[in-house]
Chain A
Amino acid sequence: MSLSHDDVEKIAHLARIKIDDAELETLRTELNNIIGWVEQLSKVDTDGIEPMTSVVGTNLGHRNDSVSEVNLSDKILANAPDRVGDFYAVPKVVE
């Protein structure tokens, strides 16, 4: 599997990362090298093996349904690059 110019552009867009045209070709080569290298995994026989999603064997912990965090608006808004009143502001979205 080898990534085309378009593939790299598509991935960059999915990841919302702007890549300059000049950089894109170098990146394409690097990504293809890495992908080619990780593809050696295809040599491993994994028939009948369950994928391992976590090394932790225990059950999922949980919390009770009681409000433990009250009015953190100042905390969560403190680092906002653009803020209007108690809102975060972003460039206008057209649906």
Chain B
Amino acid sequence: MSYLINGKTGNWEVVVGLEVHAQVVSNTKLFSGASTEFGAKPNHQVSLIDAAMPGMLPVINKYCVEQAIKTGVGLNATINLYSVFERKNYFYADLPQGYQISQYKHPIVGEGKIELDLEDGVTREIGIERLHMEQDAGKSIHDHDPKRSFIDLNRSGVCLMEIVSKPDIRSPEEAGAFLRKLRAILRYLGTCDGNMEEGSMRADVNVSVRHPGENLRTRVEVKNVNSMRFVMQAIEVEAERQVSVWESGGEVIQETRLFDVNKGKTRAMRKKEFAHDYRYFPDPDLLPLKLEIEYVNSITSTLPELPDEKKARFVKEHGLSSYDANVLVSDKQKAEYFESVMQYTPKQNQRDRDPKVVVNWVTTNLFGALNAVGKDISESKISAEQLGDLLDLVSDDLISGRIAKDVFDIMFETGRDASDIVKEKGLTQITDIGKIEAIVDKVLLENPDQVNQVRGGNNKAIGWFVGQIMQATDGKANPQLVNKVLREKLN
């Protein structure tokens, strides 16, 4: 469904491109041997290089290069065998060198694409313009002192990948889907932890609006939006702002704005006296980064299975629906959980676990329960093995599906094994035909009216009897047997 803003002058389409800064997972910084670990005391993870002491020189971290290549491959993008680090010159308190080492004219990764799976089952391809490596800046803290800002350089020099999409995104939902898919890919690859709250993934959003079919109009950059929800919100409100500017006869100016979370609005950043002039030039402290094709191939060959491949495999191997497969592969850990439930060694006389049953339990019951308490799959008290055992109890007719749900709830709270709970609470299903016949006889005897109704042709009343019997057995009677016996006795 297309997203259009209804204006006085007709419909407006929103055109969005994202610039995502993803912090590379590495032990040390891009050009120094200082640690990148999150949460250190201020200025405790700063090398002489990161603090730009006189005479300090950058030496590139090979692993960061590898991570960028992996990400490029994961984005179906061209890996440039020749790339150049340049200096982006500007003054800021948390930029100790007075320049950021970045890639400009020759990025390490060129054009690629990401396939989005939208809610309504539609897929959309979003182009990737480029990916380049750069240093992160430090952090300025403005609220500790009335007259001074404090500078912490722990982040200074951490390796970022700037991933730039083409302006192919047409709605806040697509932007959200793009970020989720990108995050999934980065997490699969292990190149970025994708944690927006800790700032390891940040997005700048380029927004413009136009009447469908028109050329592009002036775009506005909304900076540093630090959650998916805010990205979507920022696009919505900025697009609406632009529509009202255009429609009131004004002109949208090219500028950088900030998204004010509290007000739910974007606002212009304090105006810089002069336009930026970054004076990019190749960093003379570094040489061009030349890669051998064999090296790139060796990295490509070690890549893990990515979401799209995994999804295709789930559909093909396990016969899952595209929707279910999407839900699973959207998160590497979820997909892994599903696969570990599937990948068990069958005990004697056991059948393979039914993927449709497994996916239902995993996505509906487990993910549902986790969502309800705001927990992540990694925090689940039920291990994949335990969930598998629970499902086996059902498929072996040892407990009923209804009982299984109760057992599941206990497992979810306590993390105990299903069989222990079943044993302790005496929840084992009644499959003894004699026992069931006795209960059925008793219930039929107590309810002659209903018996007559059934015999008079009201088949619905059979359901009522099933309910009565299940109630009488605390849900432990095997429903198939109950049905069978009932029908025999009532005929």
- The complex places the Cα of A65 from the Cα of B64 at a distance, in Å, of 8
A89–B149 touching, CB < 8 Å: yes
B28, B59, B151, B287: which contacts A88 (Cβ < 8 A)?
A: B151
- The complex places the Cα of A84 from the Cα of B152 at a distance, in Å, of 11
* Residues 40-64 (chain B) with a chain A CB within 8 angstroms: 41-44, 46-48, 50-51, 53, 59-64
A76–B53 touching, CB < 8 Å: yes
* A-B contact sample (17 more), CB < 8 A, given A86-B42, A91-B149: A61-B60, A65-B26, A65-B28, A65-B63, A66-B28, A69-B47, A72-B47, A73-B44, A75-B48, A76-B43, A82-B148, A87-B152, A88-B150, A90-B149, A92-B142, A93-B142, A94-B142
Chain A facing B: main interface SS = loop
A89–B151 touching, CB < 8 Å: yes
* Residues 7-57 (chain B) with a chain A CB within 8 angstroms: 26-28, 32-35, 41-44, 46-48, 50-51, 53
Tell me the number of A-to-B contacts counted with CB atoms below 8 Å: 134
Which residue of A16, A68, A86, A87 has the most chain B CB atoms within 10 A of its CB atom? Answer: A87
Chain A residue nearest to B159 (CB atoms) is A65
With contact pairs A13-B273, A67-B28 given, residues A54 and B151 touching in the complex (Cβ less than 8 Å): no
For this complex, 8 residue pairs linking A to B, each with C-beta atoms less than 8 Å apart, are A14-B279, A68-B28, A73-B41, A86-B41, A86-B44, A87-B42, A90-B148, A92-B148
Residue A42 is within 8 A (CB to CB) of chain B in the complex: no
A interface residues, Cβ below 8 angstroms from B: 10, 13-14, 16, 53-54, 56, 58-73, 75-77, 82, 84-95
Chain B residue nearest to A53 (CB atoms) is B282
B33, B41, B146, B258: which contacts A67 (Cβ < 8 A)?
A: B33
A64–B53 touching, CB < 8 Å: no
List of B residues within 8 angstroms of A82 by Cβ = 148
Q: 7 closest Cβ contacts across the A-B interface? A: A68-B33, A65-B63, A87-B150, A88-B151, A62-B62, A76-B51, A69-B47
- The complex places the Cα of A92 from the Cα of B203 at a distance, in Å, of 26
Which residue of A60, A63, A75 has the most chain B CB atoms within 10 A of its CB atom? Answer: A60
